[in-house]
Amino acid sequence: VNDQNIQPSNELKELRSQITELERKNQELSKQIRANETLYLKVLDALPINIFLEDREGHTLFANEQACKLNGITLDELIGKTVFDFFPKQIAEINRAVDLDVWRQRKLITREVPANFNNQEFHMFTGKTIIHVNESNEEFLLGFGLDITDRVRAEKLIEHMAYHDALTDLPNRWYINSYFEHFQSKSNDPSVFGLILLDLDHFKVINDSLGHDAGNLLLKEVSQRLQKVADNSGGILARLGGDEFLFLVPELPSEEEITPICEKIMQVLLEPVSIYGQKLNISASIGISLYPKDGKYLDTLMKNADLAMYGSKDKGRSCYSLFHPIMKKQAIERMDLEILLREALIKKEFFLQYQPKIILKTGQISGMEALIRWKNSELLLYPDSFIHIAEESDLIIPIGEWVIREACKQCKKWHNEGFDQLTVSVNLSPKQFQRQNLEDLIVSALEESGLSPQALELELTEGTLMERPEDAVIILQNLKKLGIKISIDDFGTGFSSLNYLRLFPIDTLKIDQSFIKDLEREQANATIASAVISLAHSLLINVVAEGIENEEQFDFLLAGKCDYGQGYFFYKPQNASEIGQILHDRTPQLV
């Protein structure tokens, strides 16, 4: 055997090395492929989206880490399973139906769906589509799901906030709007729809004197009580803002059925509300309008319920009134009144009457209270019929300014006639008090008239002072620096805090007429009057009793050491000329 034949030829060597090289390359390639595979898997696992692959029958072929995590099982447990293994039958069937739809349509189908994984509620944005692998001619269903629970929750919250009141969580105006729209679009039955508008009486006083926190507590308590009525009557309760609530009663069998609901509302408000240990009596004024009789649109119904509500306020509050077309006429008259009031100032239709203030012990006249009157053509109008309209329309500012200047001028006249100890008291409205240049106005009125500051007294109510008590203290101190006097009018009707009473630089308290009225018969009134007198005296403040109408009241107050009195028992308010006459007739009795 030729040795040379056994020796591998060069070609063979070459072939071998090529094979080795190929094997190496092959190994490298597989390594590369594995590395790529791992990379793709890592990419899929890193995504915060659950991704899965299914065959035509719905068996899971692959799922990424997020999908396993959400389902709470491992990939091994998932492989080969179908939705019927994880979800309740009903949900699984819906899922499978979508799969079949995707197989049929062969395009991406996305949906937002609620889901439950591991007993936890989720909201998912899901998508499914078909992928085709050319090389193997295989087809798979690729699905993905993005957890949008937080977004959906935030959207829901925002939507809730848009349609609910933040303080009480009751539906708000927008909710009612959309509710009504919905009601109208579907309603073709002839049933009556009731709208009950409710406004708390004197809420502002409570808010001003006890503070906003107390006011908020009160509103919450009231809304809870009203909610119970709503639950029992099938109504919807909403808060429109401030102290205004709305009751919607859909599908009333008849118009009459609305009154027992109103009775119920009044009844639940009867029980006093306890705020910070203080018991507060509350009540509401209620206005009712009925659909479709009083309006076809919500706007009209609300307006008409509002007019009816004002009707209740006019009737003395704490009652309910059904809308009547005549109320519209009255509202127009009110507007006309505002226009007339504006002209009254220019036409000089206002004048002042004066009511003497008596020193109870001596019977002497110590001063006058100026009270505004309005002569409108043949009608003589008293402040109760127009002052509130003046306040609402800001006309009170120029009117009030005129009163101060006029009262100072008149008082100076009396001083010049020899009655130079007389004082004049002027009533101030809340708006006037809050106005920045009140001090300037007083200075100018005093200068213009030449009246000495000690002769001028301003009468303010508790409500005015307690609106912003800290500011009030400063304003009062500045006014006092001018040398004028300050008096609190209608004392006992607001919720003054005793602490503030000590801080306010006050000269006089006027006990409200309601406590003087029937004082001889009503023990409670007598007790309150006596308490106010001793309270005031302990703070070195003088006391005026308003509305003294008979001798018994006078005797009681004199014995109770009340300093001053005003009332029909002494004098009614009268024109300046008549007062001048009285002063002259009484001259010997004056100081």
Q: Which does 382 bind (CB under 5 to 8 A by kind): ligand C2E, Mg ion, none?
A: ligand C2E
Shortest Å, Cβ 420 to ligand C2E = 24
Shortest Å, Cβ 432 to ligand C2E = 7
Cβ-based neighbour number of residue 191 at 10 Å: 11
Residue closer to ligand C2E, measured from CB, 198 or 358: 358
Distance, in Å, from the CA atom of 460 to the CA atom of 465, rounded to the nearest integer, reads 7
Residue closer to ligand C2E, measured from CB, 246 or 548: 548
Long-range contacts of 234-237 (CB under 8 A, 24+ apart): 235/194, 235/196, 235/261, 236/171, 236/176, 236/179, 237/170, 237/171
Q: Which residue has the tokens 């009231």?
A: 222
Shortest Å, Cβ 385 to ligand C2E = 9
Residue closer to ligand C2E, measured from CB, 312 or 429: 429
- Residue 289 lies near Mg ion (rule: CB under 5 A): no
Residue closer to Mg ion, measured from CB, 309 or 458: 458
Cβ-based neighbour number of residue 195 at 10 Å: 26
From 41-49, 163-171, 422-430, 438-446, give the range in contact with Mg ion by CB under 5 A: 422-430
Residue closer to Mg ion, measured from CB, 214 or 529: 529
Q: Compute the CA torsion angle 120, 121, 124, 129 (nearest 10 deg).
A: 60
Q: Which does 171 bind (CB under 5 to 8 A by kind): ligand C2E, Mg ion, none?
A: none
Q: Which residue has the tokens 């447990």?
A: 77
Residue closer to Mg ion, measured from CB, 221 or 546: 546
- Nearest one of 436, 445, 385, 378 to 411, comparing CA atoms: 445
- The full length of the chain comes to 591
Residue closer to ligand C2E, measured from CB, 15 or 582: 582
Q: Which does 200 bind (CB under 5 to 8 A by kind): ligand C2E, Mg ion, none?
A: none
What is 244-257 written as a DSSP string? EEEEEEEEESSGGG
Residue nearest ligand C2E by beta-carbon distance: 567
Shortest Å, Cβ 565 to Mg ion = 13
Q: What is the largest CA-CA distance in the chain?
A: 172
CA 155 to chain centre: 24
- Residue 489 lies near Mg ion (rule: CB under 5 A): yes
Shortest Å, Cβ 591 to ligand C2E = 23
- Residue 168 lies near Mg ion (rule: CB under 5 A): no
- Residue 459 lies near Mg ion (rule: CB under 5 A): yes
Among 71, 490, 525, 562, binds Mg ion (CB under 5 A): 490
Q: Which of residues 521-550 bind Mg ion (CB under 5 A)?
A: 546
Amino acid at 553: Q
Shortest Å, Cβ 371 to ligand C2E = 4
Q: What's the distance, Cα to Cα, between the start and end of the chain in Å?
A: 165
Long-range contacts of 434-443 (CB under 8 A, 24+ apart): 434/467, 434/468, 435/397, 438/475, 438/479, 439/478, 439/479, 439/482, 441/401, 441/404, 442/404, 442/479, 442/482, 442/484, 443/482
Residue closer to Mg ion, measured from CB, 306 or 546: 546
Among 66, 427, 429, 449, binds Mg ion (CB under 5 A): 427
Residue closer to Mg ion, measured from CB, 406 or 489: 489
Q: Which residue has the tokens 């390594």?
A: 31
From 242-250, 411-419, 452-460, 566-574, give the range in contact with Mg ion by CB under 5 A: 452-460
Shortest Å, Cβ 512 to ligand C2E = 7
What is the contact surface with ligand C2E in residues (CB under 6 A)?
355, 371-372, 382-384, 387, 400, 403, 427-429, 459, 489-490, 513, 546-549, 566-568, 573
Shortest Å, Cβ 519 to ligand C2E = 12
3-state secondary structure 121-164: EEEEEEEEEEEEECCCCEEEEEEEEEECHHHHHHHHHHHHHHHE
Which residues are CB-contacts of 338 (< 8 A; sequence separation ≥ 6)? 389, 393, 395
Q: Which does 400 bind (CB under 5 to 8 A by kind): Mg ion, ligand C2E, none?
A: ligand C2E
Q: Which does 387 bind (CB under 5 to 8 A by kind): Mg ion, ligand C2E, none?
A: ligand C2E
Q: Are 51 and 128 in contact (CB under 8 A)?
A: no
Calculate helix-pair angle for 396-416, 438-449, nearest 10 degrees.
30
Q: Are 341 and 393 in contact (CB under 8 A)?
A: yes
Residue closer to Mg ion, measured from CB, 341 or 428: 428
Cβ-based neighbour number of residue 28 at 10 Å: 10
Interacting residue ranges for Mg ion, rule: CB under 5 A: 427, 459, 489-490, 546
